[in-house]
Structures are given as structure tokens and as C-alpha cells.
Amino acid sequence: MNYNFYLIDDDISVISILSKIIVNQNLGDVVGKDTTGENAVDEIVKLKPDIVIVDLLLPKIDGITLVSQLKPKFKDLPFIMISEVHAKDMVSKAYNSGIEFYINKPINVIEVINVVKRIDEKLKMKKVIDSFQSAFKSMQSLNEDQVMEISKIDRDPLSSAKEILSHLGVISDSGTKDILHIVEFILGFDDGIRKKVLDYRLSELYTYVSDKYEREKGEIVNEKTIEQRIRRTIGQALETIAEIGLDDYENMYFDRYANTLFEFREVRKEMEYLKRRSKEPGKINIKKFIAGLIIEMNK
């Protein structure tokens, strides 16, 4: 990893500790620092760091307000908040402002490394999804005969997929089987050609699963039923991950899946819905879930 960090904390010793961790653990470089928060917004706009670590309580401007000001300018900029405050309502408010992770003081080297690794995974996944979108746009101008065949996968990843879905509490859901069939299709189990989720409309994927049931088992399952089952299953998975986050923000499954399988803002909305602070639950993105599932399977 080689990221540029910007550090904000009113305790210079904390900045020093974080700087040493970042350099000594080969996480990247510190390109800027601030002890009040007063100049942080302008400097971050100028320096464009990859990751910002900010204290919750600052002399001039609190961390939540600072993040709220910066998030509209840098939608994809990851924020890590550090604080001695353990109150769940304050932590929840911090997440709602747009932070990615929350670290309690005193600073723990292992925790910092693990959080940066989680952000690294998220940023890598974003690059993959961006490449999917770019490839999809390029594919629109190509004929089918011009599409290059991708090599066969060298291992059966379904056991990994089932493990992930088990972590999300949906391994027994009816939609899980449908999701696994779509994964098989994307990974080329039928024809040996690996595909991209974004190359297909969801209706095409549902038709594939419907045809597979009829062809292999003589079952007649229409596309609408398949869509409803998949939506229910992914919706249940979203609820599960939100419940895990409410119980423990630092849970390994919450850290791992909240960003890769779902839009994190939708996870936060679901958490607020479960706490009855919002009338609107989080929304699911089926293509993101399937693309994220395939990425997670290959880690």
C-alpha cells in the first residue's frame, strides 16, 4: 500500500504516533497535518490526500462538521475518525456524516493497519467496478464476434460464495440458489468464458436462471419469481449486516462486507431504520452485490 494521508488531531503526540505507524508499516506517506481543524478543509482541497484521519473533538471545528463539509467535494475520499468518545449515538452520528471507520483511542497499531487494509480493499473494488463500467461502455461499440474469450477459472469458488452468504445469514434463503446460479454463469461454468456482471441486464440474468431450472430439472420458475427471491435474500443480507454494525462497529464481517457488497450509505440508512429513527430502509443494488460477492470469493 502507498497512500497519502492527511492527519487532524489537537494532540500532536497522536499525530506523531499515527505518522510513525503509517511510515513504519509501509502504509504510505503523511502529506499534511492540522491540530485545530481550522485550515484542514482548504489544505485537503489543495493536497487531495487518499485517506483522511480526523479526531472527533477539535478546538476550532468538530470532526463531524469537518467531514460533512468535505464529503460533498470528495464523495469517494475515505475518512477514518478517532476519538475517546464511546457513546453509540455519537459514533452513529459520525458514520452518518460520511466516515468509513471509527477507531477508539488510545491508538492501537494493529487496529490502524486493519482499518487501512479495509479501505485498501474498498478502493481496489471501486477500481474493479469502474473498469466494469468502462468495459461495458466499450462493449456497446463492439460486435459479439470481437469480444475476446476470457480464460477458464482455475478453481471452484462456490464454497467461498456459500461461506460469505452464510456469514450474512442467508445461506438457506430461496434466493441464495438463484444468486449462486448467476455466479456460475458469470464465472463461466457453462461455457468456460468468464463474463462481467455489468455486461448484462438483470432481466437477462433472471432468464438464464429460469432456463437453467427448466433445462436441468424440468422446473418452471418465471423470471419475476426469481427476481423477487433474489431481492428478498439480498434485502435480508442488508438487514443482517446493519444489525451487526449496530451491535459492533468493529465486527470483522461488518468491516468486510458493508462496503463491498452494499452501498455504505444504504447500510447506514438501514441501521437508522432498524433503530426506528428513519421511515425509509436502506436500498439494495443487485449488480453491486453480485460483483462484490465475486470479488470477495477470490480474496
Domain extents for the chain?
A: 3-124, 148-297
Give residue 151's pLDDT: 39
CA dihedral 78, 83, 86, 90 (to 10 degrees): -60
Give residue 194's pLDDT: 87
Q: Which fold has domain 3-124?
A: Rossmann fold (3.40.50)
Please tell me whether residue 222 adopts helix, strand or coil conformation: coil
CA dihedral 238, 185, 188, 123 (to 10 degrees): -20
Q: How do the residues of the chain divide into helix, strand and coil, expressed in percent and rounded to 5?
A: 60, 10, 35
Least trusted range by pLDDT, from 25-34, 82-91, 202-211: 82-91
- In terms of Cα–Cα distance, which of 152, 160, 55 is closest to 103? 55
Taking all residues of the chain, what is their mean pLDDT, rounded to a whole number? Answer: 85
DSSP 107: P
For 59, the grid coordinates are 478546538
Residue type for position 111:
E
How deeply is 84 buried, as exposed, middle or buried, from its count of CB atoms within 10 A (0-12, 13-18, 19+)?
exposed
Quote the pTM value. Answer: 0.51
Give residue 238's pLDDT: 95
Mean pLDDT for 14-36 is 92
Please, which pLDDT band fits residue 86 given cuts at 50, 70 and 90?
low
Helix ranges restricted to H, 37-108: 40-47, 63-70, 88-97
Q: Rounded distance, CA 229 to CA 262, Å?
A: 18
Please, which pLDDT band fits residue 61 given cuts at 50, 70 and 90?
confident
Contact 103, 112 (CB under 8 A): yes
User: 223-247 and 174-186 are packed helices; what angle lies between their axes, rounded to 10 degrees?
Assistant: 100
